[in-house]
Amino acid sequence: MPLDPPIQRIIDLLAAHRDTNEPPGTLEERRKLANATMRLAFTGRPDDVTATDHRVPVADGEITVRILRPAGLPAVAPMFYFIHGGGWFQGDLDTAEVELGPITSLVSCAVALVDYRLAPEHPYPVPLEDCVAGYAWLHANHAELGLDPERIAVGGCSAGGNLAAALCLVARDRELPMPCAQLLDVPCLDLTEMDTDADPEAILDFGGLTPEACNEFFDLYLAGVTDPRDPRVSPLYEPDLSGLPPAVITVAEYDPVRDQGERYLTRMHEAGVPGAAFRVLAHLHGGWVIPGTITHALVGDLRAASVRRALTGTLAP
């Protein structure tokens, strides 16, 4: 199946741009270019949304949690806690708003974004522990922040989907308040080395995320120290998935981590956890973040509907 035409045109333009420019050399240059490219897809923050940045203490430092609050919310509002992607080594609060999409216009809830520290300077478990700390901080300060602690859903995209899934496992095992739902967008859930010769017709010809890139990202996150089969690194290796919140998983047809999300749904079903998965055809890893495609609007609607139902208690029977 060919790619969605608007996506193919963008890939062609990016390929032509790469042909005439030297690739970034340092990690910081790569981050700067990737973040700037992501911000090109930003459709703008609604005028009625107030954004406040909060400093949150964590082990050996501080992180920032940004709270987006649309006008007209009740004094005690539900919340969606969203974790950005970027291979654990790039991305920030601004790219998180791009990935989040127009949800503040579609759901009557506050949104929290977490600026976790990045690998390789801060390899596993720092990014995960930062996300857990931000989540725990929301609960500890819910009264001051005007949040309903019983109605907090978590979600994330790509590496953020990995961190959101791992956060739910940590919350269960540490007896933290459990999120009311987990929304995993193109999640990477198995960080063992990917076969770079696998599925040759699916990904490599389209310029999307490749197995080689995944392996590089895994190495940056794990720093050659952590076992990739650690269940808090690779949730697919968690032997017991019982007691987790309902899940909605979205995957892309042309994505080397596509099957991981679908396998995770199967594992959760086997453990008695309700959930649903949607495979978006003719798209690359998270390609619907790009405006100008039908799926940009529809996947945003799907996420909004999932969050809305999670926060009103109607997602799962």
Query: In b/e form, how buried is each residue of 237-266, taking b as 16+ CB within 10 angstroms?
Result: bbeebeebbbbbbbbbbbbbbbebbeebbe
Angstrom distance (rounded) from CA 65 to CA 52: 8
pTM of the model as a whole: 0.95
Tell me the sheet residues that pair with 155. Answer: 82, 183
How do residues 7-65 score in pLDDT, each as one tens digit? 888 878 777 776 666 667 899 999 999 999 999 999 889 999 999 999 999 999 999 99
> Does any domain span residue 192?
yes
Angstrom distance (rounded) from CA 317 to CA 310: 11
Total count of domains within the chain: 1
Q: Which residues have a catalytic role annotated?
A: 158, 255, 285
> Does any domain span residue 50?
yes
Phi, psi of 219 (to 5 degrees): -65, -40
How do residues 67-105 score in pLDDT, each as one tens digit? 999 999 999 999 999 999 999 999 999 999 999 999 999
> Does any domain span residue 111?
yes
> Does any domain span residue 301?
yes
> Does any domain span residue 317?
no
Q: Which domain holds residue 236?
A: 5-311
The CATH code of the domain that includes 137 is 3.40.50.1820
> Does any domain span residue 316?
no
